[in-house]
Structure 1
C-alpha cells in the first residue's frame, strides 16, 4: 500500500464506522508479504506458523489509551511499534526468537481510519525488525482504543531462560538502554516535547532483541525484560530464584543526555535508570567468570538472601510500576 493511496482511501472512509471490521482488516493486511515462519497468514479462521522446535513461546501485552499511551503525545505509528516491541522483548527474555504476532484491536466506531492505519504500519514495521509478521487477530467495537498483541516464538532447540535460575555467585548484567523512556515521560508530563532523544524513547522503545538468544547461548542462568523498572524486575528474578541481588551504583554510566534532562527537571537521573520502565532492556545473570555476550554490562552480583540492594542498602527511591496500586495512578503518569 503506497502512502498516497492510503491517504486517498482514508479520506473516503474517515472513521472505523464507515469502513467496517472487514474493510479495516483488508486495508491493514493488503500487500504485506508473509515472513518465512508464516505458513498461512491473515484471512482464514486461524493462522499457521512454523515451529520447528516443537515448542511455542507465547506472551501477550495490552495497551489502553490513556493508561499506556496518549495520541497527543505519540503518533499512531509509535504506539504500534511500542506494543509490538513490548511483546518481542518478552520473547527475547526467554532466550527465544519470534515467529509471529497476533493482534486484538478494540476501537470506538468514530476512530479515524488514518489512526488505525498508523497503528498497523507501526506494528508491521517493528515486526519486520526481527523478520516476522502479523499473522492474524480480531477487531471489535468498544468504548476506548485498546490494542492487544500476542507474540509467538521458538527456542531453536535451547532450553528457556527462566527467572528462577539465578544462583549466588552469578554476575548480573544488563543490555540495552535504561532510564530513557522514563526521562521522556517526565518531559512530556511537564508539557515539553524535547529533547527528542528521550521523548522518542518513551514513544517507541528499541529493545536489544538479538541479545536474548545470545545470552541463552552464552549460558545465562536467568533473564528478564526490564519493562517495569530495573529494581522491580530484578526483584522478580530474586524472588523466583530465592536469592538476593546486589547492585553497585558505580557500575552504571548515566548518559549525559539523562544528566542534562535531570538537571533541567530537578530529578536525579539514577532514579530513572533504576526504576524507570518501558525501555525493555534485558537483565540477565551469568555464571561467575563467564564471558558476557556483546552488549551486556556487569552491574552487580547474585548473593545469598533476598531482595535487591544498591551499594548494600535498600534503594530509597521508587521501585517501579505495578498496576492497581493507587499511588501509581496519580499525577497523570502512564503505565509501562
Structure 2
C-alpha cells in the first residue's frame, strides 16, 4: 500500500516526529531543540512575550483552498504578528498538531516547512511541540518573544490627540476568502493574500522604539481590533476612509461580487497588519501610514460616524 494510503498511521507518531524535525533548523537563540522533554531558548531580556493561536480545519482553513505549506505560513504568522504587536521579536515557536490518522505524512512535512519558513523571516525557530490523533485537523502554535530591553506596547496606552497609524495591508485576505467562497480562484493577488499573509513584523519593534503608545495585531478586522484599543485605553478612535486606497483587483472583485470594498478594508481580518497610536509629535517609522486619530470618548467611528454592520470576525457569532 502507498504511503498516502497508509496516512500518518503508517509511519507512526515518532516516525513522523523524526521526519518533521529533520526538516527544521535552529537559530542562535535555541540552546536545545526538539528531542527532549522540553526545549531551551535564550531569554536575554529576562522577560518572555508569549502568545498562542489555534487553527481548526473547516473554521480557519480548507485543504482544498490552500496547500499545506501555505497553511503553515498562516499558522505561524498569526503568532509572529501578535508578538510584533507587543514591540517584540519572536525567538521560538512551539506547535501542537492534531490530525486524522489518514492524513498523508507528506502533508505534515510540508506544513512544517511553511511554519519554519515564516518563522525564519524574523529569525525564529520551531523548537518543539506535540502530536495527537484527532478527527479534526487542528494546529495550535505558541510563540515566545524577546522585547530587547524595551517596555511592551500594550493596548492600553492611547491618549486623546494621538495619531492612529497602520503598517501593512488590510482587506486583501478577506477579499480572497470571499472570492474562494464564491467558487473563484482569481484575482490571484487576493487569493494569495488569503493563503499566505504578508506581515510587517519589523514594524512592531520600530513603532516601540519611537514611542508608540498602544499597538495591536489586526487579525479580526481593523475596526474590531481598534475597538479593543479604544476600550483598553478608555478613549475613542476615528478612522478616515480616504486614508485607504482600493487596489484595482479589489475594486473589480467587489463590483463583480456586489460587495462594498471598504467592508473588506475596514472589517476584514487575517492580513495581520499592525495598528498603533503615536504621540502627535512622533515621526512615524518607515512603513507606517496615518489613518485616523484618538479622541476623548468611547468606541470607534469612521469619518466621525458609526459604522453600520459587523466590525470584524467573532468566532462564536
TM-score bucket of the superposed structures, by smaller chain:
over 0.9
- 2:269 match: 277
Report if the CA contact (8 A) 1:102-1:135 is conserved. yes
1:295 aligned to which of 280, 287, 290: 287
| SS, match of residue 92 in structure 2 | strand
Is 2:124 the counterpart of 1:146? Answer: no
Q: Distance in 2 between matches of 1:152 and 1:164?
A: 21
| SS, match of residue 136 in structure 1 | strand
Deviations along 1:130-162, one digit per CA (max 9) or x if unpaired, are 111110100011111000000000000000000
Deviates more, 1:230-239 or 1:104-113: 104-113
Is 2:84 the counterpart of 1:92? Answer: yes
1:123 aligned to which of 73, 98, 115: 115
2:159 aligned to which of 158, 163, 167: 167
Q: Distance in 2 between matches of 1:181 and 1:317?
A: 19
Aligned-residue offset at 1:316: 1.2
Q: Distance in 2 between matches of 1:11 and 1:143?
A: 19
Report if the CA contact (8 A) 1:271-1:317 is conserved. no
Is 2:174 the counterpart of 1:182? Answer: yes
| SS, match of residue 230 in structure 2 | helix
Report if the CA contact (8 A) 1:13-1:113 is conserved. no
Distance of aligned partners of 1:288 and 1:191 in 2 relative to their CA distance in 1, 3 Å threshold: same
Q: Distance in 1 between matches of 2:247 and 2:216?
A: 22
Dislocated runs of 4+, deviation >3 Å = 10-14
- 1:191 match: 183
Deviates more, 1:13-22 or 1:195-204: 13-22
- 2:203 match: 211
| RMSD, aligned α-carbons | 1.1
Q: How many pairs are equivalent?
A: 316
- 2:230 match: 238
Is 2:309 the counterpart of 1:312? Answer: no
Deviations along 1:189-237, one digit per CA (max 9) or x if unpaired, are 0000111110011111111000000000011000000000000000000
2:106 aligned to which of 107, 111, 114: 114
Is 2:15 the counterpart of 1:16? Answer: no
Aligned-residue offset at 1:118: 1.4
- 1:59 match: 51
Q: Distance in 2 between matches of 1:31 and 1:266?
A: 44
- 1:6 match: none
Deviates more, 1:77-86 or 1:109-118: 109-118
Is 2:230 the counterpart of 1:249? Answer: no
Distance of aligned partners of 1:31 and 1:235 in 2 relative to their CA distance in 1, 3 Å threshold: closer
